[in-house]
Structure 1
Amino acid sequence: MPEPYPCFSVIMPVFNEERTLATIIKRVLDSPYVAELLIVDDGSSDDTRELLAGIADPRVRKFEQPFNMGKGAAVRRGVAEANAPYVIIQDADLEYDPADYALLAEPLIGERADVVYGSRFHTARPRRVLRFWHSMANRFLTSMSNAFTNLHLTDMETCYKAFRREVIQQITIEEDRFGLEPELTAKVAAGGWRLYEVGISYDGRTAHEGKKIGWRDGVRAIYCIIRYSPGVARRTDTFKRQEAQAPPAVARSVERVTNDGWMASSLDRYLGESVLQVGTAHTGLALEMAGRHGVTVVDDLTRPIERRPVPGFDSAVIIDVLDRVEDESTVLTEVRPHIKRGGILVVLSAAHPHLYSRVDESIGRLRRYGKNQLGRIVADAGFTILKVAYVD
């Protein structure tokens, strides 16, 4: 075993874990392998935030999500902030023991592995006896994942996944909840990185004791195993290339397939008498809105807005703008002062990052958004999120 040194960025998603938080933080910081602990509070509604405020250890860095976005979203935030040579994911309950960091670090430090999984099943270490069907579900998902990735893991769903930082920061994490586990596994397999598995201890808890994963997450895991498997991912890339080669008429059809009247009707309940529309006035949706409300259209927010009501617009709608600008916060910051206190902002942008293709590039679109990703951007600009949803 190599001499321990501070080499791990530990990413800890936290959601309503006030009972275990202080204990797990102490255990993590007691490990000689920890260079920094990145705690991402995922919209906790208990005393988690107050407990975190009292931590003064310089190795601890704290981040707050605007609302409960899910484990995958919290890990994505932590990965972007990590600085140490290696990155490991640590749940905030007491199921996984940081004393096992040495086992996970050894293949990484020895430069034999790029990624190391801690297995709860392939181990001689102490572990709490699991419920039978919970254990069977884990084994089924692992076997299914192995079939689609051609790996031979014993525990795909384990929390303890450790990476060379360069590896995990190359992976685009798309899943916001527990679909993170099969997504990461599939993308590690597709990347051809060296993957090791080591046995770890495990003190599992029940739903009564606070375990948050449920049957819906199991169904989502099956979808993710298929969706992100290397073979399906390659076929998706082929479809994108074919789509990008489509003639202009087809590209325009892909760009706008919305039933504009239906869309305008669905937005009515959010819009007041006066509406500030940011973006082009020449879409079908814009024309539908203009027939229903007092709409003021602007393309340049740096110029004075004519007919601006006092104290501001009842609502604002940003249509297909954020995904076409380098800095979304600039647009949101410019819009905010024009909306009256208690007013509503509606943002419409292209969805699903994995669908981004040359068709998007050809029409000036720089990106597509995941649902929670767009919510985070709007919340960071000072807005309170009421709802984020796919609408078409």
Structure 2
Amino acid sequence: MNDMDTLYEYKHALNFDQVKRILFGAGQARLAGDQLSLMGRKNTLIVTDPNVYKFGLLENILESLSKNHIKYEIYDKISNEPNMENIINAVDFARSNGKFDSVLAVGGGSVLDTSKMVASMVTNPGDPSEYLTPVEDKFKNPGLPKILIPTTGGTGSEVSNMSVVIDKESMYKTWAASSNLLADTAIVDPVLNASAPPRTTAASGMDALAHNVEGLISKEANPVSDGIATKAASLIFRNLRTAYNDPGNIRARSGMSMGAMLGGMVITFPWVAGPSILGHCLGEAFGPKYGAIHGVAVGMALPYILDFNISAAYNKIGSLAGIFNIPHRGESAREVASKIPPAIIQMLKDLEMPTTLKEINFPKSDIEKFAEYIYSSRQKLYDLPRFNPRRLTMENSLKLITNMYDGTLEN
């Protein structure tokens, strides 16, 4: 057995599902009607948000449906962040109209996540909240066939097996996970992203980067996820600044769309820990609670969780140096790894995004309470002892949150 075999010796069989069909490229959204027709669908529920409709992103899609003689009804009452009220209302709408034979989602992550739950809840009984069990798949019946079309390059929800939801009482995020939530067809058309505001582009892009980088350093990562995550991280790092500053640059948008889609595949692998490891564990807790949108929260957390994990994963973290165009010669692997967190902080600054907790109005008085919550409770939801390279203690959790508040890197 050589060193590479030893490095990737895996204690479990690699069992995983992926989306059945992917259409990627400029103009592919025009084929939505053709795809529904191939599935034998005749009456679809379109789930979207008001801005998608406002900016005319549905026009070519609706034309495609009409050309294929597919009836449709539009439901556009979806907010920017996924919450249970969104899901319950959309599910009630779909259930009360029994004629729908499919779901077509067009929008950002909140729209796609809601649509996946709608398609599954039409064919499964009970309240949607009963299915928010990340470690257990409670869906028994196949959902309605669904086509997912993203209009932002970030969540990768079009190819993931999860639906993320904000818990109304705690204001923390949880999720449902099931192969039943996978799209029948994902259509990724970079042209649809061109109208996204710069702030949305920045936030969604950092979310995609976090998916891939966190997936790369997962303790159970292997060549399947590593190959995808590495290429995706490269695409995002090389294209996000351009997409932010030149929104109509379709080449940059294509790179971002591909990187985001690949990131959705990475977080669907069961060995990558769902949404991802420590960065998403933190960001999906403090983001909803303190009013930071998802991409802002996980993007801000990324450099600090890499800094935190350097002692346990400096080879993996250092491997990003080539992707990020960081010069290094004759330095130790740990010294190379220490260059990565500052490079990500610089990217956040270039994208005019916050780089500390204090910038998102996280109260300093909440640092200890939040660290205690992460250490004693939330890390179990993400199974961080299994997936995160460095072991969390109360002491290092408190230090990590303090560093994120102050903007301090230790390595």
Compare CA radii of gyration and give the structure with the larger one.
Answer: 1
Compute the TM-score of the two structures, normalised by the length of structure 1. 0.27
Relative to total residues, which structure has the larger helix share, 1 or 2? 2
Give the structure, 1 or 2, with the largest relative contact order (CA under 8 Å, sep 6 or more). Answer: 2
TM-score (normalizing by structure 2): 0.26
Structure number having the greater strand percentage: 1
